[in-house]
Structure 1
Amino acid sequence: MTTWNLEGMKTHLFICNGSSCMNKDGEEITQAIRDEIQRNALDKEIHTTRTRCNGRCKDACVVIAYPQGNWYRVPSTEHARTLVQDLHHETLYNDHVFTLREGTLQRTVQTTAIKGIEKVKEG
């Protein structure tokens, strides 16, 4: 098993490869992200990891950027390439669903993504 030296990385992308995301071109999106990173010599800046389900299946394919704490909906390989460029240029990718603010995830104002089911039922 490989152990990467991640010193100096600016962004770690967690790319959902759960079943819903895979049914919505998750493999192609994963490869497009990795290809764009390599094509632009960003391997020392952006690291990627495939994950299982992240619980936002309606937003497939879900990509999470840390340490920024941003959750993205990446519906196509074209969007995947744009996301990498936006991360590199430190601009905000359009399909930004959640962001980490004051220690908690918050929905972004511009998102059109569904809110989703509450994790804890009241009462």
Structure 2
Amino acid sequence: MTTWNLNGTKKHVLICNGSSCMRKEGEEITLAIRDEIKNRELDQQIHTSRTKCNGRCKDACVVVVYPEGNWYSVTSTEVGRSLIKSHQDSTINLKDSLIYSFDNDEMKAVNTDKCIKGISKVELEGAKS
């Protein structure tokens, strides 16, 4: 296993590789994101990690970008590439793909008209008791 020196890294991109996301082009999206990083010579600035399930399967393929903490529904390799391009070009609009963002230190659904509400973790725990 490789141990990377992450000093100077500006963004950490977590790409869901859980089973639902993999059925929705997760592997292709992962490779497209990594390829775009390489093509733009951003390897020193952007680090990627494959994750298991992030709990938003209906939004597959889920990609999370830190330090912003933005969660995206990346539905194609092109959207994945645009996510990386937006690091250098602020005119790229990813609003339609943004599902969650941090606001006052808590996650908030962004596109509430399109966002799948999901199951409340509090309600689920109460039902188990």
Superposed pair shares fold, TM > 0.5:
yes
What secondary structure is seen at the aligned counterpart in 1 of 2:121? coil
Structure 2: 5+ residue stretches without partners: none
Q: 1:106 to 1:59 in 2, by over 3 A?
A: same
8 Å CA contact 2:56, 2:62 repeated in 1:
yes
CA–CA separation in structure 1 for the residues paired with 2:31 and 2:113: 25
Question: In the alignment, which residue of structure 2 is the partner of 1:41?
Answer: 41
Give 1:39 shift.
0.6
Question: In the alignment, which residue of structure 2 is the partner of 1:70?
Answer: 70
Question: In the alignment, which residue of structure 2 is the partner of 1:82?
Answer: 82
Over aligned residue pairs, what C-alpha RMSD do you find? Answer: 1.7
Structure 1: 5+ residue stretches without partners: none
Question: In the alignment, which residue of structure 2 is the partner of 1:15?
Answer: 15
- The TM-score, its normalising length taken from structure 2, stands at 0.88
Q: 1:111 to 1:80 in 2, by over 3 A?
A: farther
Give 1:109 shift.
4.2
Paired residues, number: 123
Question: In the alignment, which residue of structure 2 is the partner of 1:118?
Answer: 120
Point out the structure with max Rg over C-alpha: 2
Question: In the alignment, which residue of structure 2 is the partner of 1:93?
Answer: 94
CA–CA separation in structure 1 for the residues paired with 2:7 and 2:61: 27
Q: 1:111 to 1:35 in 2, by over 3 A?
A: farther
8 Å CA contact 2:109, 2:115 repeated in 1:
no
- The TM-score, its normalising length taken from structure 1, stands at 0.92
Give 1:4 shift.
0.8
CA–CA separation in structure 2 for the residues paired with 1:116 and 1:17: 20
Identity of aligned pairs, percent?
Answer: 54
Give 1:88 shift.
3.0
